[in-house]
């Protein structure tokens, strides 16, 4: 099943050429505005997992775990875990689009979690673990919409994609002990049982993107 998903995901990336007229987000546009780094925000289950994956990629300057999409100001981890703040656990990724594109980040995002399970990733259940993309500009929105459309048309997943696509909102960095959690706690049981298999798949299938 994983092989089928990966093949279809790569096919979707190549299919973007057919939508080139719909996407004006190019490398030259960054050069013209003297912007080197761009920002993306993704939620796909526990932020420890997502952060660990994006930190491995070339072109990623930083990946910060945090909370977004809720109503409570300055939420704590305990409040978010309570499921009443409306926040999702997310990772804000600062990246160099000259090295890795937003489309490639989307490819890795969709391959690193199950976008068809509502408010759940594995044993982690609750709205804070929902699959969500917070777009930072209309180009990101368009690119994500096309990706989801292609994944749906090619029937990559047996079930429907439930990933939310929302405009960026206030981002609250998580507490210090959540940052670089995998790097600092690699021997912890959650890291060994949940994160290590995800990183193994990343190394196997996306070697050329790794630092």
Pairing state between β 60-68 and 124-125: unpaired
Pairing of strands 38-44, 60-68: unpaired
Would you call 46 a catalytic residue per the annotation?
Answer: yes
Of the residues 46, 49, 81, 191, which is catalytic? 46
* φ, ψ (nearest 5 deg) of residue 166: -130, 155
**List of residues 6+ apart from 191 with CB closer than 8 A:** 48, 52, 181, 182, 185
Q: Where are the beta strands (DSSP E) in the chain?
A: 38-44, 60-68, 88-95, 120-121, 124-125, 131-135, 164-167, 172-173
Angle among Cα 151, 196, 53 to the nearest 5 degrees reads 50
CA angle 62, 65, 69 (to 5 degrees): 120
Taken in order 85, 51, 125, 163, the sign of the CA dihedral is positive
Catalytic residues: 46
């Amino acid at each position: 099943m994983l092989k089928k998903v990966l093949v279809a995901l790569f096919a979707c990336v190549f299919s973007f050429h057919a939508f080139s007229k719909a996407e004006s987000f190019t490398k030259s546009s960054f050069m013209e505005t003297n912007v080197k780094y761009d920002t993306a925000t993704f939620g796909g289950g526990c932020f420890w997992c997502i952060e660990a994956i994006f930190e491995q990629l070339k072109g990623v300057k930083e990946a910060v775990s945090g909370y977004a999409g809720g109503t409570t100001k300055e939420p704590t981890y305990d409040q978010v875990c309570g499921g009443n703040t409306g926040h999702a656990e997310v990772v804000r990724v600062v990246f160099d689009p000259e090295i890795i594109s937003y489309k490639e980040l989307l490819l890795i995002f969709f391959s690193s979690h199950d976008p068809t399970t509502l408010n759940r990733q594995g044993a982690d259940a609750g709205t804070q673990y929902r699959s969500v993309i917070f777009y930072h500009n209309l180009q990101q929105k368009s690119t994500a919409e096309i990706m989801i459309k292609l994944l749906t048309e090619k029937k990559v997943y047996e079930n429907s994609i439930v990933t939310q696509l929302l405009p960026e909102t206030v981002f609250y960095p998580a507490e210090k002990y959540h940052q670089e959690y995998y790097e600092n706690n690699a021997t912890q049981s959650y890291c060994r049982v949940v994160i290590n298999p995800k990183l193994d798949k990343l190394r196997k299938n996306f070697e050329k993107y790794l630092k």
